[in-house]
Amino acid sequence: MTTEIFETFEELGLNEDILKAVLEMGFTKPSPIQAQGIPAVMQGSDVIGQAQTGTGKTAAFGIPVLERIDTSNNAVQALILCPTRELAVQVSEELGRLAKYMRGVRIEAIYGGDSIDRQIRSLKKGVHIVVGTPGRVMDHMERKTLKFNEVRMMVLDEADEMLDMGFREDIESILADMPEDRQTILFSATMSKPIMSITKRFLNDPVLIKVVRNELTNQNIEQVYFEVKPQAKVEVMTRLIDMHHIKSLLVFCNTKRKVDEIVEDLQLRGYASEGIHGDLRQQQRSNVMSKFKAGVTTILVATDVAARGIDVSGLDGVINYDIPMDEEYYVHRIGRTGRAGMSGKAFSLVARDEKYRLKSIEGYTKVKIEKGVIPSFEDIVGVRKARFVETISTSIKESSDQELYNDVLEMLHHSGFTTEQIVGAMAKQIMGVQKNEYADSNLAWEERRNDRREGGNERFGRGERREGGSRFEKGGDRRDGGSRFGGDRSTDRYAPRGERGADRGERRQSAPEAGMTRLFLSLGRKDHIMPKDIVGAIAGEANIPGKTIGAIDIYDKFTFVDVPERDARAVLRAMDGNTIKGKPVQIDIAK
Ligand code: AMP
């Protein structure tokens, strides 16, 4: 294999059409896995790539796969196996973008949960690249609706995740069914024993490329740790979220049980959070992910393994609820924030018995993780007040129907309250700050909170925070009137049954009408979805009369729709994974 270092995509000798697409996608230079992987794959070697999501691995195998497709031959020439439906869709979409200027390349994602008949029809028309989950690919092999006798390239993406999910037998059967002379490429974030045994059996003299430590070079991540008592970790986490106005956050912890506990605790405190771990079914995973991507949930809590396959980038922050057992996991975790030129925050909550692990992470990454000061209750109230004032000012300046509510003050005056009392009570209600059992002095395990001035390099001390007032300028605190829906608050609301069509300027009702169930749909205004599209799709697919469908609230990225309780199951069954106006939709009961 060549040892040349490729600095540009031009130097890699790519076909013009792919080069044009790559540049259009905004890739200015090959990432390390691409600079090393693309030449190795193009030379025909079997390759093991130790890399995870975020390193550019999809294009590292996607580009050479596209280079080798012969569009004059209608047979399947490349098979890419992915652990989840979500990743399969993501990979096929990335391939689609890379193939934008190539003529006649057909790519199909094949996964469980989608209609098998539709997939069969599509495969019959001829597909060059199949991106699939192992279970569904096996299903097609058994039905003989997928033939692999002309496959030249086989990619196993996130192989460790596939093994963790129990796909080992399926993968082995699929590999055994491939032509002997095919090229095999395997990507995995870790090189466990089972992975090594697969590579020994099925790869031929592979080239090993490892890039996991490259994310260490990311300079945009502020790494700070906090010394926290184990029982105070959720409290400290919510203070950090409030203090830094974090709107998209990935929280990592070491066990599945902990994921559930943290999610419950956060939800009880009014934070829109959901968990993701290996015990979730595919369907649940997809729902959790689409809500996070739509901004309905703003906090995702995950184990390391579960987080690997998911494509979330551009996060405001990552919190290590506990310190990972493996130093490399730390690097993977924090790499989820601060991507693509944006800055990100990586906060680690360190219990006393975890401190030594943090030290070994510092040793491994050669980066000093600075010690932070836990925000005090007073700090949080201050921040929330500033946001509250901003939100109210905006509402007064921008709202057109303010006079509707003007008599509320008079009504309360009649009840004998002063204006100060009324405003104070409303502010408390809306800001949602409550004193709880956590006194400021009871959070950290080292009594060093009062030593701020001495700790010269400590971050987020009082002085620094107070100066940074402008960071709270944006309105829309989580609790300020329902903005827990990720800031996506403007809505088109359609009156129920018969009156649909006009935006009456009402706010959402807090609960659906009696006898109705509210459903969440992952499409919204940005998908150019209109009420008639939703009514048409639901009525047609679930076979229920359109006039029985209730209120429809279309937000930018998602929609709520009320359907009769008795039909809710049928609608979920009929619509999930289906499309509206050609766009795939995820549907779930709204929370
Ligand atoms: P992946 O590791 O394949 O999941 O890619 C992570 C993200 O990085 C995707 O959004 C890619 O489109 C993007 N990406 C891949 N290669 C490059 C590159 N060379 N330069 C910039 N972005 C890239």
Which pairs with CB-CB distance under 8 Å and at least 24 residues apart come from 430-438? 430/388, 430/479, 430/480, 430/481, 431/381, 431/384, 431/385, 431/388, 431/477, 431/479, 431/480, 432/270, 432/384, 432/478, 432/479, 433/380, 433/381, 433/384, 435/377, 436/235, 438/232, 438/235
Least confident piece of the model among 108-117, 224-233, 477-486, 509-518: 477-486
Least confident piece of the model among 164-178, 244-258, 370-384: 370-384
* Residue 179, pLDDT score: 95
* Ligand 1: residue whose CA is nearest its atom 14: 56
* Residue 304, pLDDT score: 87
Res 407 pLDDT > 50 = yes
Residue 268 vs residue 145, higher pLDDT: 145
55 lines ligand 1 (CB under 6 A): yes
In 139-294, beta strands by DSSP E: 153-156, 183-188, 207-210, 221-227, 249-252, 273-276
* Ligand 1: residue whose CA is nearest its atom 15: 56
Domain 467-589: CATH architecture, name and number where available: 2-Layer Sandwich (3.30)
Res 479 pLDDT > 50 = no
CB 277 within 8 A of CB 306: yes
Report residue 436's pLDDT band, with 50, 70 and 90 as the boundaries.
low
Stretch 129-153: mean pLDDT, rounded? 95
Residue 557 vs residue 498, higher pLDDT: 557
Report for 77-86, 392-401, 573-582: range of highest mean pLDDT = 77-86
Stretch 224-243: mean pLDDT, rounded? 93
Report residue 538's pLDDT band, with 50, 70 and 90 as the boundaries.
confident
309 lines ligand 1 (CB under 6 A): no
Stretch 333-342: mean pLDDT, rounded? 72
290 lines ligand 1 (CB under 6 A): no
> Mind listing the pLDDT tens digit for each residue in 276-335?
987 888 788 888 988 998 889 999 999 988 887 677 777 889 999 999 988 888 988 888
Cα(147) to centroid of ligand 1, in Å?
31
CB 204 within 8 A of CB 184: yes
92 lines ligand 1 (CB under 6 A): no
Report residue 486's pLDDT band, with 50, 70 and 90 as the boundaries.
very low
Closest CA to 140 of 157, 158, 159, 123: 123
Q: Which atom of ligand 1 is nearest to the CA of 30?
A: 19
CA distance 508 to 558: 14
Stretch 328-355: mean pLDDT, rounded? 83
Q: Which atom of ligand 1 is nearest to the CA of 97?
A: 12
Cα(52) to centroid of ligand 1, in Å?
11
34 lines ligand 1 (CB under 6 A): yes
Cα(416) to centroid of ligand 1, in Å?
62
Cα(53) to centroid of ligand 1, in Å?
9
Cα(309) to centroid of ligand 1, in Å?
14
Cα(241) to centroid of ligand 1, in Å?
28
Stretch 12-41: mean pLDDT, rounded? 92
Cα(550) to centroid of ligand 1, in Å?
42
Cα(567) to centroid of ligand 1, in Å?
42
Residue 530 vs residue 359, higher pLDDT: 359
Residue 514 vs residue 355, higher pLDDT: 355
If you write DSSP's letter for every residue of 305-329 in order, what string do you get? HHHHT----SBSEEEESS--SSHHH
Report residue 119's pLDDT band, with 50, 70 and 90 as the boundaries.
very high
Report residue 435's pLDDT band, with 50, 70 and 90 as the boundaries.
low
* Residue 339, pLDDT score: 58
Res 588 pLDDT > 80 = yes
Res 424 pLDDT > 90 = no
Report residue 341's pLDDT band, with 50, 70 and 90 as the boundaries.
low
Report residue 142's pLDDT band, with 50, 70 and 90 as the boundaries.
very high
CA distance 559 to 550: 13
- Give the fold, CATH level 3, of 218-374: Rossmann fold (3.40.50)
* Ligand 1: residue whose CA is nearest its atom 8: 56
30 lines ligand 1 (CB under 6 A): yes
Res 485 pLDDT > 80 = no
* Ligand 1: residue whose CA is nearest its atom 6: 54
* Residue 219, pLDDT score: 58
Residue 218 vs residue 37, higher pLDDT: 37
344 lines ligand 1 (CB under 6 A): no
Cα(54) to centroid of ligand 1, in Å?
6
CB 215 within 8 A of CB 422: no
* Ligand 1: residue whose CA is nearest its atom 19: 30
Question: Best substitution site from 7, 28, 58 to test ligand 1's pocket, by max atoms within 8 Å of Cβ?
Answer: 58
* Residue 245, pLDDT score: 87
Cα(55) to centroid of ligand 1, in Å?
6
Q: Name, in order, each residue with C-beta under 8 angstroms of 152's C-beta and a sequence gap of 6 or more.
A: 68, 77, 78, 179, 181, 182, 183
Helix H or strand E segment including 79: strand 78-81
56 lines ligand 1 (CB under 6 A): yes
Question: Best substitution site from 89, 94, 215 to test ligand 1's pocket, by max atoms within 8 Å of Cβ?
Answer: 94
Report residue 474's pLDDT band, with 50, 70 and 90 as the boundaries.
very low
Share the mean pLDDT of the chain. Answer: 82
Stretch 209-237: mean pLDDT, rounded? 79
Cα(61) to centroid of ligand 1, in Å?
12
> Mind listing the pLDDT tens digit for each residue in 71-102?
999 999 999 999 888 889 989 999 999 999 99
* Ligand 1: residue whose CA is nearest its atom 5: 56
Residue 53 vs residue 262, higher pLDDT: 262
CB 458 within 8 A of CB 370: yes
Cα(96) to centroid of ligand 1, in Å?
14
Q: Is the pTM of this model over 0.75?
A: no
Report residue 434's pLDDT band, with 50, 70 and 90 as the boundaries.
low
287 lines ligand 1 (CB under 6 A): no
Q: Which atom of ligand 1 is nearest to the CA of 55?
A: 2
* Ligand 1: residue whose CA is nearest its atom 22: 27
> Mind listing the pLDDT tens digit for each residue in 441-455?
778 876 444 433 333
* Ligand 1: residue whose CA is nearest its atom 18: 27
Stretch 541-566: mean pLDDT, rounded? 86
Report residue 581's pLDDT band, with 50, 70 and 90 as the boundaries.
confident
31 lines ligand 1 (CB under 6 A): yes
Report residue 17's pLDDT band, with 50, 70 and 90 as the boundaries.
very high
335 lines ligand 1 (CB under 6 A): no
Res 10 pLDDT > 80 = yes
Identify the CATH number of the domain defined by range 10-211.
3.40.50.300
* Residue 381, pLDDT score: 85
